[in-house]
């Protein structure tokens, strides 16, 4: 059978002539030398050993001459976005947005900007109703444990409801549940910590810097937000509660303060995972995109030395590229909004795919078929629209449009495309230096 080099071949060469190659749509890169690259570029495989050909085929670099893997790739993505009932049986995660009330007034709050200013709180009856609906989906899913995440606004403002829901779930469900809470951390006290520990919660917090830097980015109504969060962290540590990750939002205000010292600080707080994300709602213009990308990578590499994994949307395309996927299991999504593995019940009692998108896929009284159909139609039309924009982008299949939220803010989408591409290239250069994936 005749073979050819894929049209989607991408490569990067360093000054020592080390080369990394990958198929733009399939990822799973390979390290080769420059001589081999030249042979691939000229479709000359005579000197390749049989084993090498097999590896190159496995990585979608060499293909049978008849095969157009772009076509089959897009077709399979479209098929995968037709979410039918059996597809939705993969749902194993429910996010409960207890309220959109908050005791902080962060400048970049996506709730205020995207989902409106009307204040909503879920009633216990609505939460139970949503759990009842999703139980039918959980029942067909073997991906245990099921994940229940409490979020807001600030979910701890509705602490009694969290307790009631957890007690209800522990009493009524026969399956294992992993509980998570996304909180600003300011309201954690000993009673709360005791309950979280007893129910094996993972706590995800947000810190935007030390002291006044945090206070500026995340001001608290009538209080010192940094001191309150610091106090919350010491209580979590006292009860040995798993801090799943710390989220840091970078804005023009704190860009100079998120650095190695900040990583040292969160290390002392017992943090092992950190998400560092430029504001999704506005461009960072205090430094150039080049410098921002380099800075984020430098922090990531420093954190790695301290055993902290730094993640962000800016390094996600790089991380996804290294995930091996085979012909039948292509990456179909960037996040839960289009993947079909999680549902959100929002504070106004609507089903959603992401708490920060205004798009709703149903009411609590709708049957699951209606919800599934709405979700499926939306995911498919979003993907088709996005493809026109992303077709040919260096990181197309590892990004696929990225976070949908930033598309609601003027001028942010292009900024983030440039940032993702720049960070990706810097990370590939780092990979060539070390000959390995640099975010493990
Ligand atoms: S970086 Fe931009 S153009 Fe490229 S895949 Fe992502 S959203 Fe699309
Ligand atoms: S759209 Fe953005 S915020 Fe929403 S789930 Fe996807 S990545 Fe997360």
Query: Does ligand 1 come within 6 angstroms of the Cβ of 317?
Result: no
Alpha-carbon gap, residue 56 to 21, rounded angstroms: 10
CA of 335 to the centre of ligand 2 (A): 6
Give the model's confidence band at 49: pLDDT under 50 very low, under 70 low, under 90 confident, else very high: very high
Alpha-carbon gap, residue 432 to 438, rounded angstroms: 10
Which of 331, 395, 413 is the pocket-test mutation for ligand 1 (most atoms within 8 Å of CB)? 395
Query: Does ligand 1 come within 6 angstroms of the Cβ of 313?
Result: no
Query: Can you give the pLDDT at residue 326?
Result: 60
Place of tokens 């670099």: 61
Query: Does ligand 1 come within 6 angstroms of the Cβ of 398?
Result: no
Alpha-carbon gap, residue 212 to 263, rounded angstroms: 17
**Pairwise pLDDT comparison (154 vs 388), residue with the higher score:** 154
Q: Under 8 Å CB-to-CB from 226, ≥6 apart: which residues? A: 210, 211, 212, 214, 215
**Pairwise pLDDT comparison (333 vs 321), residue with the higher score:** 321
Over residues 14-27, mean pLDDT: 90
Place of tokens 């600080």: 265
Using an 8 Å Cβ cutoff, are 244 and 180 in contact? Answer: yes
State the DSSP H helix or E strand holding residue 29, giving kind and residue range, or none if neither.
Answer: strand 27-33
Alpha-carbon gap, residue 201 to 375, rounded angstroms: 29
Query: Does ligand 1 come within 6 angstroms of the Cβ of 401?
Result: yes
Q: Which atom of ligand 2 is nearest to the CA of 338?
A: 6
SS3 content of the chain, % helix, strand, coil (to 5): 45, 20, 35
Ligand nearest to the CA of 93: 2
Query: Can you give the pLDDT at residue 82?
Result: 55
Nearest CA to ligand 1 atom 7: 401
CA of 204 to the centre of ligand 1 (A): 28
Nearest CA to ligand 1 atom 5: 396
Over residues 5-25, mean pLDDT: 91
Query: Can you give the pLDDT at residue 410?
Result: 82
Query: Can you give the pLDDT at residue 174?
Result: 78
Which of 260, 269, 256 is closest to 303 using CA atoms? 260
pLDDT at 72 over 60: yes
Query: Does ligand 2 come within 6 angstroms of the Cβ of 95?
Result: no
Query: Does ligand 2 come within 6 angstroms of the Cβ of 404?
Result: yes
Provide the 3-class DSSP secondary structure of residue 360: strand
Q: Can you read off the two tokens belonging to residue 11? A: 């490569």
Pairing of strands 146-151, 93-97: parallel
Q: Which atom of ligand 2 is nearest to the CA of 406?
A: 2
Query: Can you give the pLDDT at residue 16?
Result: 87
Alpha-carbon gap, residue 186 to 228, rounded angstroms: 5
> Can you give the pTM of this predicted structure?
0.91
Q: What is the DSSP string of 331-399?
A: ---SSHHHHSSEEEE-TTSEEES-TTSS-EEEETTS-HHHHHHHHHHHHHHHHHHHHHHHTT-TTHHHH
pLDDT at 142 over 80: no
Alpha-carbon gap, residue 20 to 7, rounded angstroms: 16
Over residues 380-387, mean pLDDT: 83
Q: Which atom of ligand 1 is nearest to the CA of 400?
A: 5
Nearest CA to ligand 2 atom 2: 403
Query: Does ligand 1 come within 6 angstroms of the Cβ of 316?
Result: no
Catalogue all structural domains in the chain, each as residue range(s) with its CATH number.
Answer: 1-70 (no CATH), 88-381 (3.20.20.70)
pLDDT at 84 over 80: no
Percent of the chain with pLDDT over 90: 61
Ligand nearest to the CA of 110: 2
Lowest mean pLDDT, pick from 131-140, 160-169, 427-436: 131-140
Query: Does ligand 2 come within 6 angstroms of the Cβ of 337?
Result: yes
Nearest CA to ligand 2 atom 4: 354
pLDDT at 86 over 70: no
Query: Can you give the pLDDT at residue 228?
Result: 95
Query: Can you give the pLDDT at residue 181?
Result: 98
Using an 8 Å Cβ cutoff, are 395 and 421 in contact? Answer: yes
pLDDT at 336 over 70: yes
Which of 345, 336, 390 is closest to 133 using CA atoms? 345
Give 45: exposed, middle or buried? Use CB within 10 Å, 0-12, 13-18, 19+: middle
CA of 36 to the centre of ligand 2 (A): 40
CA of 72 to the centre of ligand 1 (A): 20
Give the model's confidence band at 382: pLDDT under 50 very low, under 70 low, under 90 confident, else very high: confident
CA of 321 to the centre of ligand 2 (A): 19
Q: Which atom of ligand 2 is nearest to the CA of 336?
A: 5
Query: Can you give the pLDDT at residue 351?
Result: 94
Over residues 136-156, mean pLDDT: 83
CA of 88 to the centre of ligand 1 (A): 27
Which backbone phi and psi does 351 adopt, to 5 degrees? -80, 135
Instruction: Check whether the bond before 153 is cis (ω within 30° of 0).
Output: yes
Over residues 327-342, mean pLDDT: 72
Pairing of strands 202-206, 177-182: parallel
pLDDT at 222 over 90: no
Query: Can you give the pLDDT at residue 118?
Result: 80
The sheet with strand 9-13 has its strands ordered as 9-13, 18-23, 27-33
Query: Does ligand 1 come within 6 angstroms of the Cβ of 393?
Result: yes
Using an 8 Å Cβ cutoff, are 402 and 270 in contact? Answer: no
Beta strand residue intervals within 84-172, DSSP E: 93-97, 146-151
Place of tokens 């205004």: 358
Give the model's confidence band at 87: pLDDT under 50 very low, under 70 low, under 90 confident, else very high: low
Instruction: Check whether the bond before 145 is cis (ω within 30° of 0).
Output: yes
Query: Does ligand 1 come within 6 angstroms of the Cβ of 420?
Result: yes
Q: Which atom of ligand 1 is nearest to the CA of 317?
A: 6
Query: Can you give the pLDDT at residue 140?
Result: 65
Query: Can you give the pLDDT at residue 74?
Result: 75
Query: Does ligand 2 come within 6 angstroms of the Cβ of 382?
Result: no
Which of 278, 281, 405, 407 is the pocket-test mutation for ligand 2 (most atoms within 8 Å of CB)? 405
| Average pLDDT for the chain | 89
Which backbone phi and psi does 173 adopt, to 5 degrees? -105, 145
Using an 8 Å Cβ cutoff, are 115 and 356 in contact? Answer: yes
Query: What are the pLDDT digits (tens) for 396-427?
Result: 889 988 999 888 888 899 999 999 999 999 99
Number of H helices, E strands in the chain: 17, 15
């Amino acid at each position: 059978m005749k073979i050819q080099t894929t049209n989607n071949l991408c490569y990067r060469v360093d000054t020592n002539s080390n080369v990394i190659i990958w198929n733009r749509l399939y990822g799973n890169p390979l390290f080769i030398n420059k001589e081999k690259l030249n042979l691939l570029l000229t479709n000359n495989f005579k000197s390749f050993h049989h084993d090498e050909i097999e590896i190159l085929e496995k990585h979608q670099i060499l293909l049978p001459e008849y095969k157009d893997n772009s076509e089959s790739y897009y077709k399979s993505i479209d098929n995968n976005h037709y979410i039918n009932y059996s597809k939705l049986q993969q749902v194993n995660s429910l996010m409960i947005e207890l309220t959109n009330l908050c005791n902080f007034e962060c400048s970049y709050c996506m709730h205020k900007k995207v989902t409106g200013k009307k204040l909503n709180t879920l009633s216990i009856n609505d939460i139970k109703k949503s759990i009842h609906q999703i139980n039918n989906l959980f029942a067909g899913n073997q991906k245990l444990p099921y994940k229940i995440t409490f979020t807001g606004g600030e979910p701890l403002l509705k602490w009694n409801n969290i307790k009631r829901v957890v007690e209800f779930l522990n009493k009524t469900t026969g399956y294992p549940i992993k509980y998570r809470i996304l909180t600003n951390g300011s309201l954690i006290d000993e009673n709360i910590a005791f309950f979280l520990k007893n129910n094996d919660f993972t706590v995800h917090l947000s810190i935007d810097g030390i002291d006044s830097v945090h206070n500026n980015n995340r001001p608290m109504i009538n209080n010192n937000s940094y001191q309150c969060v610091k106090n919350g962290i010491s209580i979590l540590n006292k009860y040995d509660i798993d801090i799943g990750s710390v989220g840091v939002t970078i804005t023009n205000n704190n860009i100079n303060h998120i650095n190695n010292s900040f990583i040292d600080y969160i290390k002392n707080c017992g943090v092992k995972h950190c998400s560092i994300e430029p504001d999704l709602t506005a461009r960072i213009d205090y430094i150039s995109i080049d410098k921002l990308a380099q800075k984020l990578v430098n922090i990531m590499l420093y954190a790695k030395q301290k055993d902290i994994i730094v993640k962000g949307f800016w390094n996600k395309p790089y991380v996804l590229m290294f995930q091996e996927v085979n012909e039948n299991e292509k990456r179909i999504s960037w996040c839960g909004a289009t993947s079909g593995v999680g549902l959100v019940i929002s504070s106004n009692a609507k089903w959603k795919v992401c708490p920060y998108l205004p798009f709703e896929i149903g009411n609590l009284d709708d049957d699951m078929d209606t919800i599934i159909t709405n979700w499926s139609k939306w995911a498919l039309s979003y993907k088709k629209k996005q493809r026109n924009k992303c077709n040919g982008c260096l990181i197309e299949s590892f990004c696929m449009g990225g976070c949908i939220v930033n598309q609601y803010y003027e001028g942010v989408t292009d900024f983030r495309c440039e940032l993702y591409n720049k960070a990706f290239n810097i990370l590939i250069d780092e990979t060539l230096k070390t000959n390995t994936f640099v975010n493990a």
